[in-house]
Amino acid sequence: MINLEIKKEVVRIAKKADQMELCRHKSGNFSMIDRREGLVYITPSGISREDLTPEKIIVVDLDGNIVDGNLHPSIETAMHITAYKIRPEAGGVAHTHSRYSTIFACMGKEILPVSAEAVLYGGKPVKVAEFAPPGSKELAQSIKEPMRDSDVCLLKYHGVIAAGEDLEKALIKLIYVEEVAFLYYHMLALDHKDFMPQEIFENMING
Ligand SMILES: [Zn+2]
C-alpha cells in the first residue's frame, strides 16, 4: 500500500536540505524505504525543490520498477536501492552536492575525522567511491565498497551520499560530513598537519 505520510516526509527533508544550502534547484535526491512492502519513495527527476509536492514523489520496487507516480524517478534511483541493500538498517538515503564535501569528492580525497562532530556519522574517514557517471549502473555499484562499513561516502567528481535510520538522520549525517569537510578544508589551507588522533573517535564510539 502507498503511504502518503512517507511521501510528505521525503518532501519535507528534500526542502530542508535545499534551505540548508546542501543542494540547489534540481540537484540532489532523497528517498525513504518501506521495508515491509519492499517499496522505495524517491524524489522525481528534473523537478525543482520549489515545485516539489508529495504527489510528485515516485514509488518504486527494489528492482526500480515504478509502482506509483507519473514522473520519472530520480536518475540515481539505482544508487539509493544499492544503499538500502548494503545498509540493511537504513530507512532513508540522501544525496547532495554539498560544497565542501564535493571539493573533497572532486579531489578524490577522504575527509578525515578532524573534529568530534565526526562521531555523528561514525567517526571514520569518509571514503571516496570510484568514479562512475551520474545516473549510471556503475555509479550504483561504486558505493558498495565504501559503504560496506560506513553510512556515508563521497562520489568522485560529484557529491556525497548518506544512509540513516530514517531520512532526517541521513540528512543530519550529510550536515555533519559537510561541517567536518569545511573544518578540514580550512585546516589544510592553513597547512595544519597534526589532526585529531583516530583513537579518540574509537574511544568516543566504543566508550
Ligand atoms: Zn548528484
CATH code at position 55: 3.40.225.10
How do beta strands 152-155 and 128-129 pair?
Answer: parallel
Residue 174 CA to ligand 1 centre (angstroms): 13
143 residue type, one letter:
I
Residue 19's contacts (CB-CB under 8 Å, 6 or more residues apart) are: none
How far apart CA 39 and CA 68 sit, in angstroms, is 10
CB 184 within 8 A of CB 114: yes
Where does the pLDDT of residue 200 fall: very low under 50, low under 70, confident under 90, or very high at 90 and above?
Answer: confident
Q: Which of 35-39, 136-140, 148-152, 200-204 has the lowest mean pLDDT?
A: 200-204
Quote the pLDDT of residue 93: 98
Compute the average pLDDT of residues 99-124. 95
Cα of 15 vs centre of ligand 1, distance in Å, is: 16
Average pLDDT over residues 159-175: 98
* 97 CA → ligand 1 middle, Å: 6
Q: Which candidate in 76, 110, 130, 168 is catalytic?
A: 76
Give 101-140 as a 3 state SS string: HHHHHHHCCCECCCCHHHHHHCCCCECEECCCCCCCHHHH
Distance spanning both ends of the chain, measured CA to CA? 42
Q: Residue 76 catalytic?
A: yes
Fill in the amino acid letter for 146. Answer: P
What is the domain range of residue 126?
4-206
Residue 197 has pLDDT above 90, yes or no: no
Closest listed residue to residue 76, CA positions, set 143, 21, 8: 143
Using the mean position of ligand 1's atoms as its centre, give its distance from the Cα of residue 134 in Å: 6
Q: Residues lining ligand 1 (ion), CB within 5 A?
A: 159
Count of domains observed in the chain: 1
Supply the pLDDT for residue 196.
Answer: 85
